[in-house]
Amino acid sequence: MKRWYVVSTKSRNEERAANNLKSGNIEVLAPKIKFKRYKEGKFVYIVEAMFPGYIFVKFHPVDEFRLVKYTRGIKTIVNFNGKIVPLQDELIEFIKNNLEEGGVATIQKKELRRGEKVVIQEGPFKGFSGIFEKELDSKERVAILLDGVDYCARMEIDRELVASA
C-alpha cells in the first residue's frame, strides 16, 4: 500500500527531486512559502521551500523504495534506526488544504490592535518603537505614533516593517 514518507533532498534540490519523481509517476508534495522581505530599500516577494531539504513522497515501501532512494536530487528517505516511518494522511491533507494554487502558502501578518506597542524591524527607523494607531486603506501601510524623548510623532510606514514589541 502506498503511504506518505519524508524524503531528504540534496541542498536546494527540492524542485529537481520532485520533478524527477513525478516523471516516474510518483506522487510528490513539495510545498513552498511566499513572503515579503525588505531588501535594498524595497520589498520583494520571495518564494522558497516550506521545509528546506525535505519533500513528501507517496510510494510503496517495497515496490518503489529503490526508485525513490536513487532518484537524482534525493539524499535519503528519512528513517529511524533504519526503519522508514509513514506520515499520517491527515498531516498531508492539512498541508495541502493550506496551500494556494501552485503549491504555495502565503504568510499572513499578525493582526495588530490599536494602542499595541510595536517595533520597527527594518529600514532607516529600525529599532524605533511606537504605538500602533491604525491600518491604512491598502493594509500594506500602517500609522504608528513613534516614541520620542519627550513627544510622539505620527508616522506612516509599510506594514511589513512593523512587529509587536
Q: Identify the CATH number of the domain in which residue 96 sits.
A: 3.30.70.940
Of residues 143 and 151, more confidence is placed in: 143
For residues 165 and 161, give the distance between their C-alpha atoms in angstroms, rounded to a whole number. 12
* Whether pLDDT at 17 is above 60: yes
Same domain assignment for residues 22 and 96: yes
Q: Where are the alpha helices (DSSP H) in 3-132?
A: 14-23, 65-69, 89-97
Domain assignment present for residue 28? The answer is yes
Enumerate residues 6+ apart whose C-beta is below 8 A from 25: none
Residues 30 and 91 placed together within one structural domain of the fold: yes
CA end-to-end span of the chain, whole Å? 50
Domain contains 101 = yes
Domain that holds residue 127: 117-164
Residue 44: the pLDDT is 85
Q: Per-residue pLDDT tens for 49-101? A: 999 999 999 999 999 999 999 999 999 999 999 999 999 999 999 999 999 88
Task: Please report the pLDDT score of residue 91 as a whole number.
Answer: 95
Nearest by Cα to 87 from 15, 29, 33: 29
Check which CATH number belongs to the domain holding 151 and give it.
2.30.30.30
Q: Is 112 a domain residue?
A: no
For the record, the C-alpha cell of 69 comes out as 532512494
Residues 16 and 85 in one domain: yes
**Do 38 and 96 lie in a common domain?**
yes
Mean pLDDT of 134-148: 82
46 and 26 together in one domain: yes
The predicted pLDDT at position 96 comes to 94
Residues 123 and 101 in one domain: no
- Indicate if the pLDDT at residue 148 is higher than 90: no
pLDDT at residue 151 greater than cutoff 80: no
**Are 95 and 160 members of one domain?**
no
Residue 80 maps to a domain: yes
18 and 51 fall within a common domain: yes
User: Residue 59 has what pLDDT?
Assistant: 97
Per-residue confidence (pLDDT) for residue 149, from 0 to 100: 54
Q: What is the pLDDT of residue 54?
A: 97
Residue 87 to residues 13, 51, 107: CA-CA distances in angstroms? 22, 15, 24
